[in-house]
Amino acid sequence: MAPQKNTAHDFLFTETLNEAITSDPGFRDGWYSAASDVRAGLARQARLWSVMGYSTEFWKRAIWKCFGFSCVDDFQVGFKEAYFSVMDPNDLLCMARKWQRGDVSRHTNGDLAAALGLITARTFALPISEDMVFPVRDCASEQELIPNGELRVIDSVCGHLGLLGPARVTRLRGPRRAKGRSAAAVCWPVGVDMADPSADSRGESTASGGIELPARSKPVMRHTGLPASSAGYFLFSAAYRHNPV
């Protein structure tokens, strides 16, 4: 869940994302011929997302090995930079500037409580536990302003990019206000369980200690041709529908 009124921190972070692109000489004030002209700028943005998009625990536990990469540089170049290298720089700038100016309270003369208080639908705030961009506390404070809202935290050491895996099972914590239902399990079609990266999709351990890629597991989301963000959100939505909370 993104904050309904952008924070000063995220505004500044987004500025660094924009500057990574616009500072590339190949950007030419937006008049580049192809994304490849801004390759260096896109690579810098990819590195910024590696720092803020994943949690410190993601790097500490070397979760990137679950994607099938041999080292941090391999993951950075083969996954993150490759992912961003085909994106249109102007599109990224447009989305970033929209993010910077996101504020639902503009409809209520700057009163965020009044804006969120107008929501009548049952609402679930779904922040990710180690998201450094949209922290749980920011989402929680806004959720409290929604009359029929509940906070459900998604536990993932992948941080902001947690919906992209590689957990086989990611769990939603129970509701802030108990309603007699347990948390739902959101299952991912990936052969590695983040809770035990040495176990394969059938729960059989193939390694003893450390994080090793299981022999029967396959690297995921690498050279698939499907945008990672689309795959992640689609899989999460499908699983959530089959595991109602």
User: Taking residues 131-139, what's their average pLDDT?
Assistant: 93
Query: How high is the pLDDT of residue 180?
Result: 37
64 band by pLDDT with thresholds 50, 70 and 90: confident
State how far the Cα of 82 lies from the Cα of 46, in Å rounded to an integer. Answer: 9
pLDDT in tens, 173-232: 655 543 333 333 333 333 333 344 444 333 333 222 233 333 333 333 333 333 333 333
What mean pLDDT value characterizes the chain?
74
Query: How high is the pLDDT of residue 175?
Result: 59
3 band by pLDDT with thresholds 50, 70 and 90: confident
Residues 6+ apart with CB under 8 A from 237: none
Q: Please list the residues that pair with 125 across neighbouring strands.
A: 151
Query: How high is the pLDDT of residue 1?
Result: 63
Query: How high is the pLDDT of residue 196?
Result: 42
- Any idea which fold 8-242 has? Rossmann fold (3.40.50)
State how far the Cα of 135 lies from the Cα of 220, in Å rounded to an integer. Answer: 27
pLDDT in tens, 75-89: 999 999 999 999 999
Query: How high is the pLDDT of residue 185?
Result: 32
Bigger pLDDT: 63 vs 185: 63
Asked if pLDDT for residue 171 goes beyond 90, the answer is no
Q: Indicate whether this model's pTM tops 0.75.
A: no
State how far the Cα of 112 lies from the Cα of 105, in Å rounded to an integer. Answer: 5
Helix %, strand %, coil % of the chain (to 5): 45, 10, 45
> Residue 140 belongs to what H/E stretch?
helix 136-143
User: Taking residues 2-27, what's their average pLDDT?
Assistant: 94
pLDDT in tens, 29-51: 999 999 999 999 999 999 999 99
State how far the Cα of 193 lies from the Cα of 212, in Å rounded to an integer. Answer: 11
Bigger pLDDT: 90 vs 157: 90
The tokens describing 100, both together, are: 């910077």
